[in-house]
Amino acid sequence: MTSAKTAVYAFFVQTPALEPAKTLKDTSLNDMFSELGRRLFFPRGIVAQSAEAEQKARRYNASVGMATLKGEPLCLPSIKKQVPGLSSREICAYAPTSGVAELRAAWRELQLRKNPLLKDVQTSVPLVTAGITHGVSLAADLFADAGDAVLLPDMFWGNYRLIFETRRKARIITYPMFKGPGLDLEAFARALEAEKAAKLLLVFNFPHNPTGYSPSETEAHALAALISGAAQKGRRVVVIIDDAYFGLYYEENTFAQSLFGLFAGLHKNILAVKLDGATKEDVSWGLRLGFITYAAASLSTEHYGMLENKTMGAVRSSVSSCSRLSQTLLLKSLKQQEYTGEKNRLFSFLKERYTAVKQIVGGRSTERLAPLPFNSGYFLTFVCRGFEAERLRGYLLHKRGIGTAAVSHNLLRVAYSGVDTSGLEEFFTELYQAADTVAGEGES
């Protein structure tokens, strides 16, 4: 473990739970919290006391509700034998509410390696979440109130509506995502200017779900400039960056870092919230393991501690803590010499599929299906012309045995990540034929 990592690890192991975040009232962050976010805190209850006992109870530890034998958590042999080489503690013990400290430090170190823009920027240390969806929900709880504006492109992951509108009663406001082969920056600027509320939430999800698009270097910096301009006018902006598909960039001119690096420390009125994790980056979807990280100009280490305190309160009052086994497996994977090579091979594997799809789709000319721009991630999305996307989805599934997803009345999402390269030509041939059939039925 490096000295920097050791220092972070020691801090988060030894520091007790903090009291309610009074000092945040002196920052612009205080005006960004939801009503719930202002009230949340991590109590010095059993969890905090047991964390302290874990470090200092040298004789007996009767603080936490875990059954132990000779100091080690009990674990059913039928469970333990499924993961040989791991101790009962690594498998079955409760993890800290904020996550295993060594894993948090290791993930922070990984973030710095992947995002050089963060080199000289102070951020929080990532807290563990039960998947990236849980991270989005935590951010919504902390910062979105009923009536608050949440700006999203007109094509977005459907679960955002459930999280922000249904759960938090915020207002989703959309703007056209594309203009020609790239982002419609003018439409975004108009939406930013049109919404007059003092506080604004923005959500960016690149590589994008459902389209599979990521911005160019020019587009990424243009987004940052527009949002910086709003902050300079006194607006409080919470920028939520959903990095679920981070790293899967297949074209050289793509901005290959997280947008978090552009917004972290950009302005005191901008809070950047990075949501990432092992789900797609480390192809471990079912482990449900993510992270939430914060950055804003002028925030001190103490302020970040207070923000962590509130986030821990949100975690404690919902899932309590995240899977110890998932955290153990990821941490051990990160320590393996093979880790980087495995990631590189995974990237090459997915890029091969992307390249094949790009060639197949680029070589077809049809009025029925028009692909939206795509250059990264898992997906591409077609605009269906002359028929409903759901009709095509249903026909493909029931007549051809092919699964796709209708994400709006005229948009069909194709997750080519789930089709072997050897089957892509046949897959798209069937797709285009089905589109002609469905369109023809509608015309007859």
pLDDT over 50 at 111, yes or no: yes
Query: What would the mean pLDDT of 410-435 be, rounded to a whole number?
Result: 97
**Segment 212-235, tens digit of pLDDT:** 999 999 999 999 999 999 999 999
Domains of the chain: 3-42+97-335 (3.40.640.10), 340-443 (3.90.1150.10)
Please name the helix (run of DSSP H) or strand (run of DSSP E) that holds residue 294, with its range, or none: strand 290-295
For residue 185, pLDDT beyond 90: yes
User: Which is more confident, 349 or 71?
Assistant: 349
Question: Does residue 53 or residue 384 have the better pLDDT?
Answer: 384
Average pLDDT of the chain is: 92
Closest Cα partner for 240 from 283, 274, 268, 265? 274
pTM score: 0.92
What is the pLDDT at residue 18? 46
Give the whole-number percent of the chain exceeding pLDDT 90.
83
The Cα 92–Cα 372 span in angstroms is 46
Asked if pLDDT for residue 192 goes beyond 80, the answer is: yes
**Average confidence (pLDDT) over 292-308:** 94
pLDDT band at residue 186 using 50, 70 and 90 as cut-offs:
very high
Q: Specify the pLDDT at position 152.
A: 98
pLDDT value of residue 16:
41
**What single string gives the DSSP state of each residue in 4-67?**
HHHHHHHHHHHPPPPPP--GGGGSGGGGTS-HHHHH----SSHHHHHHHHHHH-SS---SSS--
Choice between 276 and 14, residue whose per-residue pLDDT is larger: 276
Per-residue pLDDT averaged across 397-415, rounded?
97
Whole-number pLDDT of residue 365: 72
Segment 306-317 shows an average pLDDT of 95
- pLDDT per position as a tens digit, 112-123: 999 999 999 999
On the CB side of 90, CA atoms within 13 Å amount to: 15
Instruction: For 29-51, write each residue's pLDDT tens digit.
Output: 889 999 999 999 988 777 777 77
Structure token digits, residue 186: 């003018």
Residue 366 has pLDDT above 90, yes or no: no
* Rounded CA separation 96/102 (Å): 11
Task: Quote the tokens at residue 288.
Answer: 């449900």
Helix (H, G, I), strand (E, B) or coil at 411: strand
Q: How far apart are CA 33 and CA 113, in angstroms?
A: 30
Task: Give the pLDDT confidence score for residue 4 in this predicted structure.
Answer: 47
